[in-house]
Amino acid sequence: MKKILVTGSLGQLGKCLQDISNQYSDFEYKYVDIDELDICDSKQILDFFHDFKPDFCINTAAYTAVDKAEEDTQKAFDVNANGAKNLAESCLEYNTVLIHISTDFVFDGAKTTPYKESDFPNPISIYGASKWEGEKHIQSILPKHFIIRTSWLYSPYGSNFVKTMLRLAETRTELSVVNDQIGTPTNALDLAEAIMHMISKHILFEQRKQGIDFYGTYHFSNEGYCSWFDFAKKIFETNNIKINLKPIPTSNYPTPAKRPIYSVLDKTKITNIFGLEVKNWEESLKTH
Ligand SMILES: NC(=O)c1ccc[n+]([C@@H]2O[C@H](COP(=O)([O-])OP(=O)(O)OC[C@H]3O[C@@H](n4cnc5c(N)ncnc54)[C@H](OP(=O)(O)O)[C@@H]3O)[C@@H](O)[C@H]2O)c1
């Protein structure tokens, strides 16, 4: 039975992977968060890999506080860059395939058409820079990797835009939301499904000894695009909440970290190679 190690398992994506694991019962899973496996501790990771010997490691562990990272630079790089490096080194030693999650924030947002995997990153925040550094470590250390960049992740767990909007609506009658940043929401359950689909296909490719070089970087989000304002509007519509929602420009909502003004991800590569069907963001929000 193939073994899967999930790091950062108490986060949004980690929890969603646990939620769907009964649909993929052909695997033995181990879910660990920082208490059990700190990805900043290379010795601890090596010991863990020595004992468990995973076939796949899904790294969902990350420093995700985008604004806080502007001050907490060292911590962001420790987790997002060095943590990724540590995992890549252990994966290399134990012949483990690493599935690492990255972000649309590696891009500067200057494009006006969806970002392809071949577009060169140019992060404009510490968080984005730390995630890009992590990607580069993995690319240089470990041939057997999948880096999956995603965007605007939400789930029933942790903190995310959907939960924030619903919480604010409990006490406010009016809300102002930015309408000039364009991207695509991603239901973390859809991302979890996509990851497990890729792992299953990977095993199939290997069994058939198909010589395609399918390792590398992929983009995954839901289909379509919207502004944060459009996203908020849909969240309230879907939940039958009446609220006075006002569109505002980014300049009226200053944050410590700069965000890309446009970060829609092109999913042609992942859909072509892995035969994935990607749900529209509005459709997926309804099932949330
Ligand atoms: N959230 C988004 O909108 C978004 C968008 C694009 C890409 N992503 C990427 O998607 C992935 C999953 O995101 P998510 O929203 O599920 O993240 P999350 O909810 O913040 O979960 C990350 C988990 O990693 C843990 N962690 C932090 N430092 C660790 C360490 N040194 N060792 C082990 N675990 C550690 C966290 O613990 P603590 O909570 O105790 O810190 C948390 O449980 C991340 O790589 C993120 O960069 C997220």
Catalytic residue among 31, 127, 154, 262: 127
User: 163 alpha carbon to ligand 1 midpoint, in Å?
Assistant: 16
24 is catalytic: no
**Residue-level pLDDT at 211:** 62
136-194 pLDDT, tens digit each: 999 999 999 999 999 999 999 999 999 999 999 999 999 999 999 999 999 999 999 99
Tell me if 260 sits within 8 A of 181, measured CB to CB. yes
CA distances to 26, 104, 286 from 244, in Å:
48, 30, 21
Residue identifier of the C-alpha nearest atom 4 of ligand 1:
153
19-42 pLDDT, tens digit each: 999 999 999 999 999 999 999 999
Residue 199 to residue 193: CA distance in whole angstroms:
10
Give the chain's mean pLDDT: 96
User: 61 alpha carbon to ligand 1 midpoint, in Å?
Assistant: 5
Residue identifier of the C-alpha nearest atom 39 of ligand 1:
11
Query: Quick one: 118 exposed, middle or buried, by C-beta within 10 A (0-12, 13-18, 19+)?
Result: exposed
Q: List, chain by chain if needed, residues with CB within 6 Å of any ligand 1 atom.
A: 7-8, 10-13, 33-34, 38-40, 60-64, 79, 83, 101, 103, 131, 150-153, 158
Span 216-224, average pLDDT: 98
- Which pair of structure tokens corresponds to residue 178? 């930015």
For residue 253, pLDDT over 80 is answered with yes
Residues in the chain: 288
**Residue-level pLDDT at 93:** 98
For residue 210, pLDDT over 80 is answered with no
Angle made by CA atoms 235, 239, 242, in degrees to the nearest 5: 85
Residue 261 to residue 227: CA distance in whole angstroms:
10
**Residue-level pLDDT at 72:** 98
Residue 131 to residue 138: CA distance in whole angstroms:
11
42-79 pLDDT, tens digit each: 999 999 999 999 999 999 999 999 999 999 999 999 99
**Residue-level pLDDT at 287:** 83
Domains contained in the chain, CATH given: 2-158+184-224+264-279 (3.40.50.720)
User: 204 alpha carbon to ligand 1 midpoint, in Å?
Assistant: 29
Q: Band the pLDDT of 212: cuts 50, 70, 90.
A: low
Main-chain phi, psi angles of 170, to 5 degrees: -70, -25
